[in-house]
Amino acid sequence: MRFYQQPFPIAVAPKWKTGGPSFYYLVVTMSENCLFCKIIKGEIPSKKIYEDDDVFAFYDIAPQAPVHFLVVPKRHIATIMDMMPEDCELVGKMLYRAQIIAKELGIEESGARFVFNCKADAGQTVFHIHQHVLGGQVMGWPPFPAK
């Protein structure tokens, strides 16, 4: 059951979720206010690369590499930790589309980083899962130590 990913008022949230809802909980359940849901619906403009029934891809507004785009599912899933077994095919479609677009953008041979940030420690800022694809330059590993 996916109830915790659906938009619902806190008043009708499941009891196990209402014993002191965290700020994080309030953010992740508010898909009606989700930035990427609004981009998918066209309510907020984006530089769209690709769209089908399941997946939407667009350029990141603040690119961190010469090539930096995002692939998102049209279905609102807040974080990778919220993935359910029935999401496996959808996430596979995201990864498949990401590599097709990466090839179209000329980074097949040089390679790319395919990244999901998840929750606070990874620096997730938009709580609708999104795959970053970064390429066009050599990148270090491990990535981005906290400052």
Contact positions vs ligand 5GP (CB under 6 A): 35, 44, 46, 58-62, 117, 123-126
Q: Which does 31 bind (CB under 5 to 8 A by kind): Zn ion, ligand 5GP, none?
A: Zn ion
Q: Which residues are 70's β-sheet partners? A: 58, 132
**How far is 129 from 114, CA to CA, in rounded Å?**
13
Residue 91 C-beta: closest distance to ligand 5GP, Å: 15
| SS3 assignment, position 72 | strand
Residue 36 or 107 with smaller CB distance to ligand 5GP:
36
Q: Which does 46 bind (CB under 5 to 8 A by kind): ligand 5GP, Zn ion, none?
A: ligand 5GP
The residue whose Cβ lies closest to Zn ion is 34
Residue 144 falls in which region: left (phi positive, over 0), alpha (psi -120 to 50) or beta: left
Judging by beta carbons within 10 Å of its beta carbon (0-12, 13-18, 19+), is residue 145 exposed, middle or buried? exposed
In angstroms, what is the minimal distance from the CB of 30 to ligand 5GP? 15
128: annotated active-site residue: no
Residue with smaller CB distance to ligand 5GP, 72 or 107: 72
Which helix (DSSP H) or strand (DSSP E) does residue 115 occupy? strand 112-115
Q: Are 84 and 2 in contact (CB under 8 A)?
A: yes
Cross-strand pairs, 56: 51, 72
Catalytic residue among 68, 76, 130, 132: 130
Min dist. Cβ of residue 61 to ligand 5GP (A): 3
**With respect to ligand 5GP, which residue has the nearer C-beta, 37 or 107?**
37
The catalytic site residues sit at: 130
